[in-house]
Chain A
Amino acid sequence: QQPVQSPQAVILREGEDAVINCSSSKALYSVHWYRQKHGEAPVFLMILLKGGEQKGHDKISASFNEKKQQSSLYLTASQLSYSGTYFCGTPKGSFGGYQKVTFGTGTKLQVIP
């Protein structure tokens, strides 16, 4: 079953902050985050492994609460280059091996000047 993302879409002005949420009905061992710009391939942002662990990528960070089976992506002081569709992915099983990832429906983020 795919994770549920919210919101489905958001429009920001440059410099504003945003939060994208990802919830799963199944136990999570890790959460992947990717961004896909229009007409391009999805690009890896980060993997979160432990409950409550926050990781960062420029001004984009994320948290993972395995008890709540949720992850949140935080975009701080958004830039035009942040525009795209953000996907969370929840791998089946624990670590190691290849990753059978189920992706969420995506959150379309548009940053305007």
Chain B
Amino acid sequence: ETGVTQTPRHLVMGMTNKKSLKCEQHLGHNAMYWYKQSAKKPLELMFVYNFKEQTENNSVPSRFSPECPNSSHLFLHLHTLQPEDSALYLCASSHSGLAGPYEQYFGPGTRLTVT
């Protein structure tokens, strides 16, 4: 596998379910990001992890819980979601350091539908 991978690619879940999204990067990057992309809305940054430490939480509801066990893996744990949470969830990664700024590499996304 190369680049940034995400699983699953599609997910349908009920409002009372608990599920997790997984992201893996094979690029040797130190920063990883979760974005939400809704129809007719810009990409919204949700979380940033830099060297496994969460550095940004963009006022995201607590029903979204990120986890970054190492620099290559990022998870987004979902529970008791609302229908308005239906969206494309994109993971990205980048280098991190003083020689930046650096471009971000995006995964293909997980299309989430909350019923």
Contact = CB atoms under 8 A, between A and B. Distances in A.
Contact of A96 (B99, B104, B108): B99
Given A41-B108, A41-B109, A106-B42, A98 B55 contact: yes
A25 to B, nearest CB: 15
Given A100-B56, A103-B42, A103-B43, A44 B100 contact: no
Interface string A45-79: 00101000000000000000000000000000000
Interface stretch (B13-21, B62-70, B79-87, B89-97): B89-97
B8 to A, nearest CB: 15
B31 interface: yes
Interface of B: 4, 30-31, 33, 41-43, 45, 48, 50, 55-56, 90, 94, 96-109
Contacts of A30: 101
B42 A98 contact: no
A44 B43 contact: no
A99 B101 contact: yes
Nearest to A30: B101
Interface residues of A, number: 26
B90 A42 contact: yes
A44 B45 contact: no
A49 B90 CA distance: 25
A53 to B, nearest CB: 13
A9 B111 CA distance: 24
Interface in A5-51: 30, 32, 34, 40-44, 47, 49
A44 B104 contact: yes
A99 B100 contact: yes
A97 B90 CA distance: 20
Contacts of A99: 31, 94, 100-102, 104
A30 B100 CA distance: 10
Given A41-B90, A98-B31, A98-B55, A32 B42 contact: no
